[in-house]
Amino acid sequence: MRTSYKVILAGLGVFGLIQFIPRNHNNDPELEKHPLFTDYPTSHTVENIIRFACADCHSNHTEYPWYAKIQPVSMWIDHHVDEGKEHFNIDAWNTYSRKQQKHKIEECIEVIEEDEMPMKGYVKMHERANLTALQKKEITLWAKGLIDSMGRRN
Ligand code: HEC
C-alpha cells in the first residue's frame, strides 16, 4: 500500500476514534422568561436579539447545530459554551450580586460596541446573529437603561 493511503487510513481511524469522546449537553429546557429579562422592561425585539445572538453560549440552553455531534467540532463548541457561561450566564442572573450584574451589563455594551460579540466564527454560521447597526443600538440602549435602573435602586 502506498504511504499516502496509509496516512489517509490512519487519519480516518483517528477521526473515527475521536467520535467516542463524550460531549457536553447544555440542554436545560429553554426558559419562557430568562431571569435577565425579569429585572427591567425588555421588549420582544431585545429578548430575541439576545436569544439569537448570545444565548447559545451565555445561557443554560444551547440550540446545537447538526455538526455539533461531530468531533472535534463538539469539543470546540463545548469549550466556547463553557467559557461563555463562565463569563456571563443570563440564566444565572439572580445568583450575581448587584455589583456583578452591573459590571456584566457594562461589559456587554462594550463587547457589542466593539464588535467582539457575538464571536465572529459563530456569526459566519448563524446569519441571524449578524447584528445590524439598529439591533446593536437597540440592545445597548436597553442595557444602559438597565444599568440606570440599578443605580436608582442602590
Ligand atoms: C459562540 C459563543 C458565543 C456567543 C454567540 C457570544 N459569546 Fe460572549 N463570550 C463567549 C466566550 C467564549 C467568552 C469568553 C472569552 C472571550 O472573552 O472571548 C465570551 C465573553 C463574553 C463577555 C465577557 C467579556 C469580557 O471582557 O470578559 C461578555 C460580556 C459577552 N461575552 C457578551 C456576549 C453578548 C452580549 C453576546 C451576544 C451579542 C455574546 N457574548 C455572544 C462566547 C460567545
pLDDT digits (tens, 9 = 90+) for 64-119: 999 999 999 999 999 999 999 999 999 999 999 999 999 999 999 999 999 999 99
Residue 113, C-alpha cell as written in the block: 460596541
pLDDT digits (tens, 9 = 90+) for 136-151: 999 999 999 999 998 7
Nearest CA to ligand 1 atom 10: 84
Nearest CA to ligand 1 atom 27: 87
Nearest CA to ligand 1 atom 26: 107
107 CB under 6 A from ligand 1? yes
pTM for this entry: 0.92
Closest alpha carbon to 77 in 91, 95, 62, 60: 62
